[in-house]
Amino acid sequence: MKRLFSSKVTFLLILFLLICFVLPATAAQDKRISIGTASKDGIYYPLGSAISEVINKYCSGFKAIPEVSTGLSENIKKLGEDNIEMGISYSDFSYAAYNGMGRYKDSPIVSLRSLFALGGFQPFQIFTLVDSDIKTIHDFRGKRIGMGPQGSSGEIEGKKVLEFYGLDYDSIQPVFISYNDVVKSFKGGTIDAFIHRGSLHSSFLIKLISTIKVRMIPVNVPDEFFKKYPYYVVHVIPKKTYKNINYKVQTIAVRMNMLTSIKSGLTEDDIYQLLQVIWKREKKWTSAHTAFKNKISFKDAILGLGVPLHPGAVKFYKEKGFSIPENLLP
């Protein structure tokens, strides 16, 4: 009886030790990775969910969770505050945050690091009337150019393009209008052309194309532009993207980037391991939404990034044969 009692005590003691020490140690092995996306009914939440599923299924030691956010600027903020470990945002947003520009002038987020580029493009789209004498941006001189709302990111970025055509607000007549007033402004003759940097098929652009006969103007900038603004890439808007625009339009665009932070707790080895798994299972997450069909590719993984790569990412891409530009080295 004593021996039986002693055995039970020993068993319970071992069980107690397992519960107190072994199980917590096992659970602690999984690093939590919150991935900032956007609204749940948008295109980036499904993408973040698919990447999380790949990490959870194929990368032991990590627990990834997609997180809803109010917008892509919030993801930058949360990364800077160490509230998420990864997040999606535009390359120009991260560039501005990292370099202390605009709203980040007094509080740059120098901890931001890039992981890879995604397929979401925001191209420049420039429209003029079909019978206009404006053929290129050079022809803007002296013309009334709709720049969008004053102080908007589109207006600020538009000025950068004008600069490389030798233009500024002294050589054109800038007109600041809301997007909903574009059609009215063309009809009323208060603008000769309109510059917009944003997603294709925005509702006000669909209204414009459906209401007025317009042409699209290409954006061709020199290599010096990309040296000064490395977060831009050359982009081609396919023909028939819009009604009656039966030709390709060359332009430039910013891209969506997957970001992290050096304050995230993810080590160089962690990032290296995560990228190995994510890109090995590329098809499982790049097909998460039709918006990304044929828009994400490994060969363009570091094209159009806004901030330097994480050291673990540098190691991974160098191993894969990538030549890392100087501005992307941490």
- Reduce the DSSP state of residue 255 to 3 states and report it: strand
Element (H, E) at 13: helix 2-17
Q: Please give the Cα distance from 275 to 285 (Å, whole number).
A: 13
Residue 184 CA to chain centroid, in angstroms? 32
Reported as a single tens digit per residue, the pLDDT across 135-172 is: 999 999 999 999 999 988 889 999 999 999 999 999 99
Bigger pLDDT: 95 or 3? 95
50-56: list long-range contacts, CB under 8 Å, 24+ apart. 50/284, 50/285, 50/287, 50/288, 51/258, 51/278, 51/285, 51/288, 53/284, 53/285, 54/277, 54/278, 54/281, 54/284, 54/285, 55/274, 55/277, 55/278
Reported as a single tens digit per residue, the pLDDT across 9-25 is: 455 555 555 555 544 44
Question: What per-residue confidence (pLDDT) applies to 295?
Answer: 82
| Torsion of Cα atoms, 261 then 92 then 313 then 121, to 10° | 130
Here the tokens at position 236 are 């081609």
The predicted model gives 100-122 an average pLDDT of: 93
Reported as a single tens digit per residue, the pLDDT across 25-54 is: 444 578 999 999 999 988 889 999 999 999
Mode of pairing for the β-strands spanning 249-261 and 112-129: antiparallel
Domain residue ranges in the chain: 29-119+256-328, 122-254
* Common-topology check for domains 29-119+256-328 and 122-254: yes
The model carries a pTM of 0.84
pLDDT at 7 over 60: no
Maximum pairwise Cα distance, the chain = 105
Q: Which CATH code is given to the segment(s) 122-254? A: 3.40.190.10
Fold type of domain 29-119+256-328: D-Maltodextrin-Binding Protein; domain 2 (3.40.190)
Question: What per-residue confidence (pLDDT) applies to 119?
Answer: 79
End-to-end CA distance of the chain: give it in Å, rounded: 68
Instruction: Report the chain's mean pLDDT, rounded to a whole number.
Output: 91
The predicted model gives 186-202 an average pLDDT of: 94
pLDDT band at 219 (very low <50, low <70, confident <90, very high): very high
In the chain, count of helices (H) and strands (E)? Answer: 12, 10
Reported as a single tens digit per residue, the pLDDT across 247-257 is: 999 999 999 99
